Structure 1
Amino acid sequence: MLKSILVGTSLLAASLMLGSCGEKAEKIQDFAEFITIQGQDLIKPDGTKLFIMGTNLGNWLNPEGYMFKFNKTNSPRFINEMFCQLVGPDFTAEFWKAFKDNYIIREDIQFIKNTGANTIRLPFHYKLFTDEDFMGLTAGQDGFARVDSVVEWCREADLYLILDMHDAPGGQTGDNIDDSYGYPWLFESEASQQLYCDIWRKIADRYKNEPVILGYELFNEPIAPYFPNMEELNGKLEDIYKKGVAAIREVDNNHIILLGGAQWNGNFKPFKDSKFDDKIMYTCHRYGGDPTKDDIQTIIDFRDSVNLPMYMGEIGHNTDEWQAAFCQTMRENNIGYTFWPYKKMDGSSFVGITPPENWANILYFSESPRTSYKEIRDARPDQMMVRKAMMDFIEACKLKNCVVQEGYIQSLGMK
């Protein structure tokens, strides 16, 4: 009798274990599904529509001058050079490590989730995946470690993640935002194109089975409107995109790939072939103008002509009233959005950083003439003071010390 009871108990336990394992396997299988495209909509694994709403983690892995209140010192390379002139390369490297460790952490991602967001766009510099000098490292760059952290935090918070190569090899824009040398050399350099493809292949290979990642945005705001050969460059855009897509598809057929228009992601005339891949969508940007459908009609017309999703990857730096009106326009016209940026000095963001004491002395140095060693020496302020100000910035940028911009967040209509 006891033996029968023991056998029965063992069978019951085994049955429960098998049932439990089956349920777990099913959950893993469900979670391993990816966002897909159905006409102009993005579809989640459960079959419901995903309407993108969220923000950008700008400035964290691609420093931009105005977010520190710098003016002339406006690109990652210029900022790093200025800091090195100000406090030396070793202290600058210490600052960048502390900056990366504190500017965005798990609590920031959870805060973003609590605003009603469902998606984060992560801009990054290509140098994070090379051995080039960037943000205090010259070898053993930490790009994957940083992205891995965000992937994990987004998984915990139930958020999707878009990876955006904001600064591509050679430069895709020809301005400060791509950290270039004033021209989009990517479109004329085979070496830069090869590096761009190699990096995307490496990224895609690492994350090919990661469903938290919604997609890969090949690069940001290609071809500024400043160049006399702009139309010639525009004619090369789709081919450069195709090269990047082909590199990714060598290792990853799961993820969507996002393509931005020329001239600040606003000109979609260069696109002639929307069928070369079955998992592409388009992304636009817009700052200013009227918050009406008429003002984005050309974007809507292009979206309708290709019958693929369109998403507003950057929008912001406006009044709360304007933002509320424009978000309503985008919702009515099925264009998801991520506002720029999540965090920066002062306002016009989800959270604002209060400038630390003596930051004005760093601003003064950043704007001073520094074209000769004498000018650098003459402009350099007291070392102890500015080093303290830089470390005070690290403390000020932590979420717990930032000022939450409630009106800004509410204007986005994410709840």
Structure 2
Amino acid sequence: MVTKMKVVNGRLIENGKEIVLRGVNLGGWLIQESWMCPVSGEDRKWANLDTLNILEERFGKEQAQKLIESYQDNWITEWDIQNIADKGLNAIRVPFWYRNFMTGEEGNWIEENFSENPGFKRLDWVIEIAEKYGIYVILDMHGCPGGQSMDHCCGTLCRNDLYTSEEHLKSMEKLWIAIAGRYKDNKTVAVYDIMNEPQNNGGYEGEHSYDPFQEESWQMSNAVYDRMIKAIRKIDKEHIITAEGIWRVSNLPDPEEMGWDNMMYQTHLYDDDENFHNWTLAMAKTREKYGVAGYVGEFQNLNGISMCNEQGLSWTTWSYKGTKDVKTFFWYVEELPKADVKNDSYEEILLKWGEVLRTEHFTEQEVVTKAVNLYSDGRFEEYKEKINIPEK
């Protein structure tokens, strides 16, 4: 059955009822970020591609894939999806990257039978389990071929080659066409998130370190959105698509002028209360101006959830779990030994990426999970004192 969720006058509507997506990112699962995952590599100086290349050089592609599979088997399990549902939330954003599916930037599949392709096997599984627990899925291409920014979060580092490479654009298009073809009739998949944080280039230098606040930068991003949206719509005319304005929603064009339909506009807000409030107001105004739905896809400010709720915006917090930075907005955290991919033996890495990664072994940050639970049904202010949320 094709999903019945549609954007109608800036609202998500399913079977005549408004839906607000409220959930969490499964960060670090299908694409590792060294600052939050148990892997060697200094923040902003190491990317997932570094890890993958070293593992393949040391152990070969087959053994490297087994290590990755062990990591992914344990980082997110059915327990986690049920837990998210039990806390009253209705959505998960699933960050992935092209190397879950492809051998490289040229676009060759790891396995042409998609039922055996490791990337599609993961998405098939999480969609199936999410459906079981009544959770919507947002499919987020967190890392594009060539990199869509200079930042490590896209899986590459100091590249940002996507916009100027036809080969990389064709590979990205090929992947989105395949995703749309596989899930076009799936109602649990609520949204296609085309490209995470395009032009997130702050603090980097180099040929492609375009300023994200300059028109040149967002025109390049919007051109990629346009190409991917048109490719998807040839296959799937029904699913909602989200485009991200980094770091402001005003970077995104009038969808009617672009020929885009059924759109949800998105931004990420790593801001204090005042700026968070201002940007949610801006998002609400954009929703009314263009008739798009509004969505804050990543943030860490506990108070931000109530601000999103006040404006009727969908939201997903960053992130569900982490192993390093205990002060950030993780529901669950545990400082675990890092896999030293340059020096640890295969067996040592397998142990560090084994059952120790299951969330049941992590420490729950109750002040966060209780707040998220209460925010999910709008009762936060009523219970704020009871759960003793510290003032900033």
TM-score bin, normalised by smaller chain = 0.7 to 0.9
**How many angstroms does 1:401 deviate by?**
1.4
Q: Which amino acid aligns with 2:179?
A: I
1:406 is aligned to 366
Higher RCO, Cα 8 Å, sep 6+: 2
Q: Which amino acid aligns with 2:161?
A: W
Cα root mean square deviation, aligned: 2.6
Q: Assess, with a 3 A threshold, how the Cα gap between structure 1 residues 33 and 228 changes in structure 2: closer, same or farther.
A: closer
1:311 is aligned to 2:311: no
2:234 is aligned to 250
1:60 is aligned to 29
- Give SS of 1:96's match: helix
The 8 Å contact of residues 121 and 338 in structure 1, kept in 2 or not, is answered as: yes
The 8 Å contact of residues 289 and 295 in structure 1, kept in 2 or not, is answered as: no
The 8 Å contact of residues 48 and 156 in structure 2, kept in 1 or not, is answered as: no
- Report 1:265-276 matches (<5 A): 266-274=248-256, 276=259
1:223 to 199, 215, 234: 199
| Structure 1: gaps (5+ residues) | 1-30, 367-375
1:277 is aligned to 260
The 8 Å contact of residues 286 and 292 in structure 2, kept in 1 or not, is answered as: no
Select between 113-122 and 182-191 the one with higher mean Cα deviation: 182-191
Select between 230-239 and 145-154 the one with higher mean Cα deviation: 230-239
**How many angstroms does 1:277 deviate by?**
2.2
1:107 is aligned to 2:91: no
Distance 1:313 1:234 in 2: 18
1:178 to 145, 154, 177: 154
Percent identity of equivalent pairs:
25
2:320 to 342, 345, 357: 342
The 8 Å contact of residues 120 and 161 in structure 1, kept in 2 or not, is answered as: yes
The 8 Å contact of residues 173 and 221 in structure 1, kept in 2 or not, is answered as: yes
The 8 Å contact of residues 285 and 314 in structure 1, kept in 2 or not, is answered as: yes
1:49 is aligned to 18
2:244 is aligned to 260
- Give SS of 2:228's match: helix
| 1:316-338 Cα deviation digits (max 9, x unpaired) | 1x5xxxx0x22111111111110
| 1:28-69 Cα deviation digits (max 9, x unpaired) | xxx644211111210123x21111110111111111111126
- Give SS of 2:103's match: coil
1:125 is aligned to 2:97: yes
TM-score (norm 1): 0.77
| Structure 2: gaps (5+ residues) | 112-116, 203-208, 378-392
Q: Comparing both structures, which one devotes a greater share of its residues to helix?
A: 1
**How many angstroms does 1:138 deviate by?**
8.5
1:329 is aligned to 307
The 8 Å contact of residues 75 and 176 in structure 1, kept in 2 or not, is answered as: yes
**How many angstroms does 1:411 deviate by?**
2.0
Q: Which amino acid aligns with 1:408?
A: V
The 8 Å contact of residues 119 and 162 in structure 1, kept in 2 or not, is answered as: yes
The total of aligned residue pairs comes to 351
TM-score (norm 2): 0.81
Distance 2:233 2:210 in 1: 34
